[in-house]
Structure 1
Amino acid sequence: RSIQASVNILTLTSSYPSGSGDPRGAFVATSVAQLREAGHRVEIGQLHFTGEESILERLRRRPWQAPEFAARTLKALRNIQDYDRVVCHWAWPFPQLALLRGVPKEKIRIWCHGSGLRLLHGSGLETLIPQASTAIVAEHQRRLLPSRLQKSAPVIPAPIAPKFPRHSGPVDKKIIFIGRLTWNKGADLLPGILDLLPGWQAVVVGWGALAPKLQADPRIQWLGALPSPEWTEHVGRGVAMIPSRVPEGAPLVLREFRSLGLPVVARDLRGLREPIQSNGLGALVRSDRPREWAKACEHVQTWKLPEWQATCHASAWRQFVVNDHDAIHHKNGAHPGS
């Protein structure tokens, strides 16, 4: 049966907005807001290194820092047993660390939406995912789960921001890039693609090491880092590009582009391939060759996509996190950390 009382929830994530205007972890913030609007108390356990890199990017380059990360994480989870629910936004390492801290698996909720699940799959380490309630953001992720979790995992898409605009209609000769300005995300390809598209421009929203180079190109309008849906007021209409070089879970920005009715040119990778092919959202490119990207942009620029509204997320998300067969009892109304 559903729990009607306020539930004390700890959300463990590596990405969360540090303040107004910070786009990092936007969908995590939206999900937290949905739980708070339902009357639940949610605290954030954001665990990260300093700098722009994600935890996964840092550990790929400096694997010897993994013990430091684990030690810092365990120290930050001192009171984790006091919460009614522990929501883990990676399949690894947050659930495993929660178990090490003595959290019963019945209290753990795992929402797999990217790197953590990919990191484990095929390495033999997917067995580390505990027998806890586990959700995925897209159907193609199901095969990445251990067989014991594949049938039971619900699909809960990453939510787009409230009141995100919906549009349809023709687009300009413009490339729209939203995301981290790094080599992994393919931002370095933009100048070469524009060289082959006379009369085209690009607008870029994001931050990262490549920002100075892109900002210096007169064909590229760099808007800095803007949160959703604020960036939609500035980018106009164009061909959305996702040239990421690493597989994606189910990118939130792809759902946002779809809501805006923008045709998409994306890398032919897992996580991008499935929704683009099944929904006819645009074209896929397999290589780094600018000519192929330019050709794809010209091809989809005349497309007109039907208006689309994101599927409901809030009720499914609340049910996944909060509902259980056992009622939660609060002793004397006390909250963790109070």
Structure 2
Amino acid sequence: MTDKTREFSSLNSKPASFKKYATRVEHVKKIVIEHPRFNEAMKLLEEVHELSKESVLAEGLFICGRTGVGKTTFLEHYLERFPRQEMDDYTKVPILYVKVPPRAKSPKSVASKILYHLGDIFFDTGTEENMTGRIQHFVRECNIEMIILDEFQHLIDRDTQHVLALASDWLKTLAEEIQIPVVLCGLPESQRIFEHNEQLDGRYSNRIFLEPFYFSSPEEQIEFRMFLKYLDAELPFSESSNLSDPQLAAKIYYFSHGVPRYIKDLVKEATKISLRQGKDCITESSLRDACYRITRSSRPYALIPFDNNKFDLAEWLDVEDKKNQAFIKESQEEAKERRRRKKKKATH
């Protein structure tokens, strides 16, 4: 862990200068916590990458998880180890990372995006077969070892048998022709593609499921608190913020539901507040004030747990759930009443 007492000096109760403020906030944005589950997933990605160099049949890898669990952060962390290199007569691209564009109409849209990232000036021209052939050419010329397709669910957003069949057939063909790993990363619903091609399903037997942290069992609580301890050790302050304290950890869990992105957003805003106030750590009042800056429209009945001595995780989660259920029931009854009135009006 970083020796923060030497890297980040005390603010001595004085608001951070703009330079210190900007540097320390940027530091928070770049924090990546290599907790055990993160490292386990990283080893599998590395294994698929390395073993395929010596194999006649490259393995595939599917990475999925809900929004905010850190899929893109995970991939970017691996990519940092394999930057592009300008050689004498070509550009070496060890790993090609491409985000599937929203509302991708067909595999051709993805092929075009791949060619664009490879510098093909005719990236949007040609048939699907022709584009796939050009990708194969670039794989050889640029010494590409692996292709990563992120936001993969965009290719199959239109859930029809035709779209899924086209996408699965193209992926199978692409993987066979380029003979390097094609890593797919997306939301859980993107798993539907494997139901439409048995061979593709077999090729992607390696799968990583990134999940949020949980807080039900003692083991889950320890895992979550260790994550917070690692995060605390990387914060740009001279003192510990004690994020892994049992009660404070429970409050952070309530706010975030264990989703790393929400934790990072909370800590980033609390860091800004503490720096402006000249504090040498994140305090619970900083976390409280940070909550007011973060909009969570998906949780209209969530309360702010920080600086609240009456907080009880189980009770607060139960109360919030009951309010949500009541709202859903009320909305369903209102919709039912609107349909009844519309039907009654139509009969007159």
Whether the TM-score (by the shorter chain) exceeds 0.5 is: no
Name the structure where strand makes up a greater proportion of residues. Answer: 1
Q: TM-score, normalised by structure 2?
A: 0.30
Name the larger-Rg structure.
2
Q: Which protein is richer in helix relative to its size?
A: 2
Q: TM-score, normalised by structure 1?
A: 0.31
Structure of higher RCO (CA pairs closer than 8 Å, 6+ residues apart): 2
